[in-house]
Every structure is written in structure tokens, then in C-alpha cells.
């Protein structure tokens, strides 16, 4: 089953096998629907809307469950269930993130604040301990779910609004998409970027999602394409060897592979003594997104 959100104020459920809609659209929102998310058990669907509310739906009956969740004072841009299905996070253009207790349907603790810009996306880590939020101030923030406090400083690197965030299945990596046409990967433990940004899109990147095994990352863009990236550091290392035809120096390793990946020989047949400065043409080749493995164009 697939759920879709629409600016026509509705949510639709689709049969993936037949590609046909399942029943009538889910109606209740009074403005554009911006985001949908299934609960981990698949029984609930949450929808976020520009009408400032979040709604919960019974997937089996396609009927709303109770009254909408109200508290945001501007458009709600994103919703995400915690892995255990007990919490729901919502991000809003009112500059806040809210956590909701689904058993009581009440907001859990204080509102998550700390920015003067719109929040665009939220995602729980697989262990439920962390929440990531994307913001139009060009940053990503990590939050401690238990204390509802920010963890360290915001993740800085994008040069335009951040539109989407996603944790890898093992929780070690975070991906972020931005209007600056790039995708960035972050080490969740250190909060540091992993290598260079993924650059191949020619317009704003609107969404990112990891494959269930964590080996691939998909990115969607306003350039009318979806691109697939191999997120395994080993694949980056192998590709780098093919481009440079030698081992990287330690400084080059830190720049192109990342400071948090342990240094090793890039080319098995070469020795560390072979490392020398890259030529300008090799540097341009390494910079030209070796991790892209495919794209789908509309």
C-alpha cells in the first residue's frame, strides 16, 4: 500500500500491485496536505497539512481517528512516527517541532524550538533516542527525544534551506537534502559531514530516503529526476582508486572520504609510498560525484 498527500486537501491510498486507488480519498483537511506517514504496524496513517493540523486515520476503514491534533500556529510540513509507534513528531513553519503521545493524543512536554525559521522535515533514529529536524535556516538539528533538548550545535554545511532528513537503518548516518541542489551525509555520533556533498542534481533536492539495507540512498529533485547513490564507504574507496589510480594521501583521504573513516590503502596493488599530489584533472574527477550510481528522469 502507498499513501500520497496532495495540494487538493486530500490523502489517497493506492494498491501498489494494481496501481489503482483504494476506495475514496481521505477527506478532512481544509488546506494542502504536505506529508503522510504510516505507523510501524501499518494500522495508522498520519497526515500533515497547511491547515495547521495533524490528522490520524484508520488505514483499514479509511476513517479519521478522533479530532485533529492541534497546537501548531502555521502550516505543518512533516510528520514521522517513532519506531515503536508510540510517538509522532510534527514539524511546522511556525519554527517548531512537536512530539505527540499517541496513547493520550496530547503533546509530549515542551515544544522543540531554537530557530527563527520554518522547520521542513523530521525523522526518528531507528532506536527512537534521536530526532532529526531540517530547517530553512540551512541547518539540521539533532534532538534527544527523552529530554527534548538539542544535542550539540546544528549541523552546518548546506548553503540554502534544508528540505528533508533521513536516518540510515543502522542509525549511524544521516542524510539531508537541500535547495542548494545537494545531498549531504553526516556521522550521527560526531555530527560531522561524511566526505563531500553529493552533487549531481541541477535544482532543489526535495526528499531523501535510504533503502532498507542502508546501502543505497534515493534523492528526489525539482530537476524532475530521482537519483540513486551508493552510500557504502568501501564503494567510494574503490571508485577513488579507479579515478586516481593510486593511494590517496592522508589529507586527500580526509577531504574525499571523510575524517571519520579509518585510513587504508585506496588501491590494493599500490603502497602508501605511492601517494603523491593529485593533478588538477584527477582532482576534478574525484570531485565529480563518484558515488552516483543511477538516475531516473521524468
What is the full DSSP assignment across 99-154? EEETTTTEE-SS-B---SS-EEEEEE-TTSSEEEEEETTSEEEEEETTTTEE-SSP
pLDDT digits (tens, 9 = 90+) for 132-189: 999 999 999 999 999 999 999 999 999 999 999 999 999 999 999 999 999 999 999 9
| pLDDT at site 75 | 97
Alpha helices in the chain (DSSP H): 233-244, 250-256, 280-287
| pLDDT at site 263 | 79
Q: Is the pLDDT of residue 283 over 70?
A: no
DSSP state of 268: T
> How far apart are alpha carbons 86 and 140 in whole angstroms?
24
User: Which residue ranges form the domains of the chain, and what is each CATH number?
Assistant: 2-233 (2.130.10.10), 236-291 (no CATH)
Query: What percent of the chain is modeled with pLDDT above 70?
Result: 83
How many other C-beta atoms can be found within 10 angstroms of the C-beta atom of residue 186? Answer: 23
In the chain, helix, strand, coil percent, each to 5?
10, 40, 50
pTM here is 0.82
Pairwise pLDDT comparison (156 vs 115), residue with the higher score: 156
Greatest alpha-carbon pair distance for the chain in Å reads 68
Q: Which residues pair with 280 in a beta bridge?
A: none
> How far apart are alpha carbons 226 and 56 in whole angstroms?
29
Predicted confidence band of residue 251 (pLDDT cuts 50, 70, 90): confident
> How far apart are alpha carbons 99 and 82 in whole angstroms?
10
Q: Is the pLDDT of residue 253 over 90?
A: no
Pairwise pLDDT comparison (195 vs 130), residue with the higher score: 130
Looking at every residue in the chain, the average pLDDT score rounds to 88
| pLDDT at site 297 | 59
> How far apart are alpha carbons 98 and 73 in whole angstroms?
12
Predicted confidence band of residue 294 (pLDDT cuts 50, 70, 90): low
Q: Is the pLDDT of residue 17 over 60?
A: yes
Rg of the chain over Cα atoms, rounded to whole angstroms, equals: 21
Q: Which residues pair with 140 in a beta bridge?
A: 134, 155
How many other C-beta atoms can be found within 10 angstroms of the C-beta atom of residue 222? Answer: 14
Across 111-115, 136-140, 243-247, least confident range = 243-247
Q: Is the pLDDT of residue 195 over 50?
A: yes
| pLDDT at site 162 | 97
The predicted model gives 229-252 an average pLDDT of 74
Pairwise pLDDT comparison (235 vs 149), residue with the higher score: 149
Per-residue cell: 128: 527512537
| pLDDT at site 247 | 81
Amino acid at each position: 500500500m502507498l499513501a500520497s498527500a496532495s495540494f487538493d486537501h486530500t490523502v489517497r491510498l493506492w494498491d501498489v500491485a494494481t496501481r489503482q486507488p483504494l476506495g475514496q480519498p481521505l477527506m478532512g483537511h481544509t488546506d494542502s496536505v504536505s506529508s503522510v506517514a504510516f505507523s510501524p504496524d501499518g494500522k495508522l496513517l498520519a497526515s500533515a497539512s497547511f491547515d495547521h493540523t495533524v490528522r490520524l486515520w484508520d488505514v483499514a476503514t479509511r476513517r479519521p481517528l478522533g479530532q485533529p491534533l492541534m497546537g501548531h500556529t502555521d502550516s505543518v510540513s512533516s510528520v514521522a512516527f517513532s519506531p515503536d509507534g508510540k510517538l509522532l513528531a510534527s514539524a511546522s513553519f511556525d519554527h517548531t517541532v512537536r512530539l505527540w503521545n499517541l496513547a493520550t493524543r496530547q503533546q509530549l512536554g515542551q515544544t522543540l524550538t531554537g530557530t527563527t525559521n520554518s522547520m521542513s522535515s523530521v525523522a526518528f533514529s531507528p532506536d527512537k533516542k534521536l530526532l532529526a529536524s531540517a530547517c530553512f535556516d540551512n541547518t539540521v538539528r539533532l534532538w534527544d527525544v527523552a529530554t527534548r533538548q538539542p544535542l550539540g550545535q546544528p549541523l552546518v554545511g548546506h548553503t540554502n534551506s534544508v528540505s528533508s532528513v533521513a536516518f540510515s537503518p543502522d542509525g549511524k548516518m544521516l542524510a539531508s537534502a537541500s535547495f542548494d541542489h545537494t545531498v549531504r551525509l553526516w556521522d550521527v555520533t560526531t555530527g560531522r559531514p561524511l566526505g563531500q556533498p553529493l552533487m549531481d542534481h541541477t535544482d532543489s533536492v526535495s526528499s531523501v530516503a535510504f533503502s532498507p539495507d542502508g546501502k543505497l540512498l534515493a534523492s528526489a529533485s525539482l530537476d524532475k529526476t530521482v537519483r540513486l547513490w551508493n552510500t557504502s564507504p568501501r564503494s567510494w574507496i574503490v571508485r577513488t582508486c579507479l579515478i586516481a589510480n593510486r593511494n590517496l594521501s592522508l589529507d586527500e583521504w580526509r577531504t574525499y572520504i571523510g575524517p571519520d573513516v579509518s585510513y587504508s590503502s585506496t588501491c590494493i596493488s599500490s603502497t602508501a609510498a605511492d601517494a603523491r599530489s593529485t593533478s588538477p584533472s584527477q582532482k576534478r574527477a574525484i570531485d565529480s560525484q563518484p558515488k552516483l550510481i543511477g538516475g531516473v528522469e521524468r
